[in-house]
């Protein structure tokens, strides 16, 4: 028998041989542990979720539980508003601004503002932290935040509100070959080059891809570009048969990928694998001088604020009509009118959500919007009133600081000229209009140009406020005036 003969053999070993075998075993075990440790450390980077919102861009670690990706809900909401949570037994109660949520450990459903929400997986509580499945965010967050979100689950990217930066790519010449990328907001990617490709990695910007992930250009030198997303970043890879380099222009809104026939000081030539620093760290290009500091992070030219919302109904216009509902409809109409004129627009409240006035101003200020437009509706009076902030005379700013209550001070002249332009455009369309100052928050808290537009019916029928024709008549006039003031507003602080 094999087993018995082996024992017999081992019993025949000398003590020195046994010692040698023991040492070998020890070394083998150590090597095995070392290999396992190396394998585990090389298992890939920690997965995380990149979050892009008007208020802040940040990333959170993703936790693997039961074969799913989970994320801490409190940590996710913290940068977006006032949030707190408390545990009561198996219940985890969330409060975000004025909204309440009730989650229960082990349950797949939760209650948000007294409405059921399906989480698509169990809610987990760990050390008083509330963890929700990553996939549940696409249905859960719109209820909590009151606006749309876009979850790219596989790539670990979450876009809150209309923050996405879109781009187009077009070939501008073939000798030398020039591929021009236009972005809807300033970008600052990390650029890496290697033989046959230039890769732009957008980890800080909410860049989203075109309809087709691969773009072809019919050029031998730069035949195509492709878009992909992974682990919280978007990557645009330009394939090329010649060495290429990238230059930045238009305050970070344009990236030009050029073949070697052209040279630029701040380019990253391909040929040997290199990684270029983001544009802000480079010298300005010779052709389009860029500022030494990073470009202003303006994502939207216009911020349209549908006033009121949630518990704040605004005026009860009729038995079945609330001001908060009319302002949302007006905001959507104005967004459409502005975007049709090439003006990037963010609607602050696109659903029936509570949004404190302070937070509305924070959103507008954080985005450095060129114009903030608050929308109101009223049953009294006729036509439209255009308001600018009522501010105390004199400037009470203290050195480098700005008073929150008079933050509008520096931009007030531009706000007033914009209000005049809007009023004049409304007059052209035979709509009765008045321009006034008003003690209306958050106009005084917005640092950039800011106006409020209060829409009343032209006659005595308050239902005209819901008529799409009337809404479009007003919003198209406002949009035309904003488009006409674009150059003036574009240079605003």
Question: Which residues bind to another protein, rule: CB under 8 A?
Answer: 308, 312-316, 323, 357, 376, 378-381, 385, 387, 390-393, 405, 434, 436-441, 444, 452, 454
CA 314 to CA 327: how far, in whole Å? 10
In whole angstroms, how close is the CB of 334 to another protein at the nearest point? 17
How far is residue 65 from each of residues 119, 134, 135, 246, measured CA to CA in Å?
Answer: 14, 11, 13, 42
| CB closer to another protein out of 197 and 437 | 437
| CB closer to another protein out of 350 and 454 | 454
Rounded to the nearest 10 degrees, the angle between the axes of helix 323-339 and helix 468-484 is: 50
In whole angstroms, how close is the CB of 330 to another protein at the nearest point? 14
Determine contact, residues 110/104, Cβ cutoff 8 Å: yes
Rounded to the nearest 10 degrees, the angle between the axes of helix 468-484 and helix 412-428 is: 130
CA 107 to CA 104: how far, in whole Å? 6
In whole angstroms, how close is the CB of 299 to another protein at the nearest point? 28
| CB closer to another protein out of 214 and 380 | 380
Helix (H) / strand (E) element for 357: namely helix 357-366
| CB closer to another protein out of 291 and 392 | 392
- The DSSP bridge partners found for residue 150 are 159
In whole angstroms, how close is the CB of 451 to another protein at the nearest point? 12
| CB closer to another protein out of 206 and 383 | 383
How far is residue 193 from each of residues 188, 242, 257, 273, 458, measured CA to CA in Å?
Answer: 16, 12, 11, 5, 61
Q: Position of tokens 């989480």?
A: 119
Q: Is 437 helix (H, G, I), strand (E, B) or coil?
A: strand
Q: Which residues contact 456 (CB under 8 A, 6 or more apart)?
A: 377, 378, 379, 380, 381, 382, 383, 384, 385, 465
| CB closer to another protein out of 129 and 382 | 382
Q: Position of tokens 């009470």?
A: 396
| CB closer to another protein out of 162 and 418 | 418
Measured in residues, the chain has a length of: 493
Phi-psi region of 383 (alpha: psi -120 to 50; beta: other; left: phi over 0): left
| CB closer to another protein out of 154 and 396 | 396
| CB closer to another protein out of 380 and 430 | 380
In whole angstroms, how close is the CB of 380 to another protein at the nearest point? 5
In whole angstroms, how close is the CB of 462 to another protein at the nearest point? 12
CA 294 to CA 275: how far, in whole Å? 19
CA 299 to CA 424: how far, in whole Å? 28
In whole angstroms, how close is the CB of 55 to another protein at the nearest point? 21
In whole angstroms, how close is the CB of 411 to another protein at the nearest point? 16
In whole angstroms, how close is the CB of 155 to another protein at the nearest point? 41
CA 493 to CA 491: how far, in whole Å? 6
């Amino acid at each position: 028998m094999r087993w018995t003969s082996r024992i017999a053999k081992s019993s025949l070993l000398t003590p020195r041989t046994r010692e040698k075998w023991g040492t070998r075993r020890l070394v083998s075990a150590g090597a095995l542990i070392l290999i396992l440790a190396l394998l585990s450390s090389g298992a890939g980077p920690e997965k995380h979720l990149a979050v892009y919102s008007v208020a802040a861009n940040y990333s959170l670690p993703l936790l693997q539980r039961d074969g799913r990706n989970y994320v801490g809900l409190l940590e996710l909401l913290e940068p977006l508003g006032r949030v707190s949570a408390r545990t009561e037994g198996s219940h985890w109660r969330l409060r975000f601004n004025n909204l309440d949520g009730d989650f229960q450990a082990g349950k797949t459903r939760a209650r948000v503002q007294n409405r059921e929400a399906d989480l698509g997986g169990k809610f987990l509580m760990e050390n008083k932290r509330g963890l929700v499945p990553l996939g549940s965010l696409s249905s859960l967050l719109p209820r909590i935040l009151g606006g749309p979100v876009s979850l790219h689950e596989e790539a670990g990217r979450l876009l809150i509100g209309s923050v996405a930066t879109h781009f187009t790519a077009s070939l501008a010449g073939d000798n030398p070959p020039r591929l021009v990328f236009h972005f809807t907001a300033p970008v600052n990617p990390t650029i890496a080059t290697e033989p046959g490709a230039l890769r732009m990695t957008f980890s800080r910007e909410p860049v989203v891809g075109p309809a087709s992930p691969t773009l072809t250009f019919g050029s031998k030198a730069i035949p195509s570009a492709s878009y992909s997303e992974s682990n919280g970043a978007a990557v645009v890879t330009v394939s090329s048969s010649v060495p290429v380099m990238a230059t930045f222009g238009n305050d970070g809104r344009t990236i030009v990928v050029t073949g070697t026939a052209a040279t630029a000081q701040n380019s990253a030539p391909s040929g040997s694998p290199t990684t270029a620093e983001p544009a802000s760290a480079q010298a300005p290009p010779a052709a389009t001088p860029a500022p030494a500091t990073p470009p202003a992070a303006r994502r939207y030219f216009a911020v349209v604020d549908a006033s009121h919302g949630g518990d704040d109904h605004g005026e009860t216009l009729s038995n079945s009509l609330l001001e908060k509902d009319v302002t949302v409809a007006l905001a959507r109409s104005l967004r459409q009118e502005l975007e049709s004129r090439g003006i990037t627009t963010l609607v602050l409240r696109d659903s029936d959500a509570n949004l404190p006035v302070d937070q509305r101003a924070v959103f507008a200020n954080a985005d450095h919007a060129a114009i903030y437009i608050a929308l109101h509706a009223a049953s009294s009076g006729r036509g439209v009133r255009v308001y600018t902030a009522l501010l105390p005379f004199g400037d009470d700013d203290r050195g480098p600081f700005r008073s929150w209550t008079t933050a509008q001070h520096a931009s007030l002249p531009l706000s007033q000229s914009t209000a005049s332009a809007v009023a004049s455009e409304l007059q052209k369309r035979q709509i009765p209009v008045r321009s006034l100052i008003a003690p209306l928050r958050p106009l005084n808290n917005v640092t950039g140009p800011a106006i409020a537009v209060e829409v009343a019916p032209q006659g005595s029928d308050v239902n005209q406020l819901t008529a799409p024709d009337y809404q479009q008549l007003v919003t198209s006039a406002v949009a035309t005036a904003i488009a006409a003031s674009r150059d003036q507003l574009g240079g605003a602080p």
